[in-house]
Amino acid sequence: MKKLTINSGRVLLTLSIVGCASALGWHLWSFYMEAPWTRDAHIRADVIRLAPDVSGPVNEVMISDNVQVEKGAPLFRIEPERFEIALREAEAKVQSAKAAADLAIADFERYQRLASKDVVSLQQRQQAESQTHQADAAYQLALAGQDLARLNLERTVVKAPASGTITNFSLRRGNYVAAGTAIGVLVERDSIYVAGYFEETKLPRIHINDPVRIEIMGEPEPLIGRVASVAAGIEDRERSDTAGSLASVAPTFSWVRLAQRIPVRIAIDKSPASVRLIAGRTATVSVRSEKDQK
């Protein structure tokens, strides 16, 4: 009887261990295969390429690399002498065009008075009126040239287009910069978010505004965020489109079908002060669905 009891206890213990192992295995399987989480996440931010609007040598640099700036803060200055000369030239053209326009108006008014006395012909009066319009158009063109010259002079001082951090900036005094050529980037301060790449099989459990736990690699404290949006599409690598032709589709098909990864934008709601939000850092994100919150 005692031996039977011992054997029964061993069987029950074995069954209990097997049951616990099965439950744990099922839980782990569900977590890894169905739960909306991923290690493939990165901190992202809107990046502005810093490029001057005019060309010329740099005569003053006000900032250094990896510094924080506010919107409108001056970054560097291009030598303004040639642009000041261009502005004076444009102002002189405005004065000349204004004098020509005033003279054309005076001539037209004189022709109008003479026309009432039948001294000038209709053709002469029409020519005078046409010269008035041409002179006025030339004056307006000169004004536009003056505004452009003044704008170019103002653009010799390159300012921060937004608040954020300057990085990859190595400009020095004396360097020649070309219009439209980037000399550094600005990472916007208020645009930092997390991009998580989830398998498409997990998308049904991801909803807008679902809370998200964000664990950045190397940081002991997690961040709290929420699902902001889900990407509307990703690139189809099996197809290439050409203008004016039919789509080119690869004739092969892989027997092992891997789930596509869909980008999900995650807004950061709460971040510890000790965590450095640097664009490009890797993270693990876990989405808590409405069912998980209950």
Whether residue 144 has pLDDT greater than 90:
yes
Whether residue 34 has pLDDT greater than 70:
no
Return the pLDDT at 257. 73
pTM of the model as a whole: 0.72
Whether 214 and 266 have beta carbons less than 8 Å apart is answered as yes
Return the pLDDT at 113. 64
Residues 6+ apart with CB under 8 A from 93: 142, 145, 146
DSSP 8-state assignment for residue 36: S
CA 183 – CA 171 distance, rounded (Å): 7
Q: Half-sphere exposure (CA, 13 Å, Cβ side) for 91?
A: 7
Whether residue 126 has pLDDT greater than 80:
no
SS3 sequence of 249-270: ECCCCCCCCCCCEEEEEEEEEE
| Burial of residue 161 (number of CB atoms within 10 Å: 0-12, 13-18, 19+) | middle
CA 177 – CA 165 distance, rounded (Å): 21
Maximum alpha-carbon separation in the chain: 145
Return the pLDDT at 22. 57
CA 201 – CA 191 distance, rounded (Å): 29
Q: Give the closest residue to 203 by CA, choosing from 256, 254, 257, 259.
A: 259
CA 77 – CA 205 distance, rounded (Å): 52
Domains of the chain by start residue, with CATH: 36-45+191-293 (2.40.30.170), 52-78+157-181 (2.40.50.100), 80-155 (1.10.287.470)
Residue in the block written with tokens 């009066």? 125
If phi over 0 gives left and psi between -120 and 50 gives alpha, with beta otherwise, what is residue 168? left
Return the pLDDT at 169. 92
Whether 266 and 216 have beta carbons less than 8 Å apart is answered as no
| Res. 240 pLDDT band, cuts 50 70 90 | confident
Whether 45 and 192 have beta carbons less than 8 Å apart is answered as yes
Q: Half-sphere exposure (CA, 13 Å, Cβ side) for 294?
A: 3
| Res. 251 pLDDT band, cuts 50 70 90 | confident
Whether residue 141 has pLDDT greater than 90:
yes
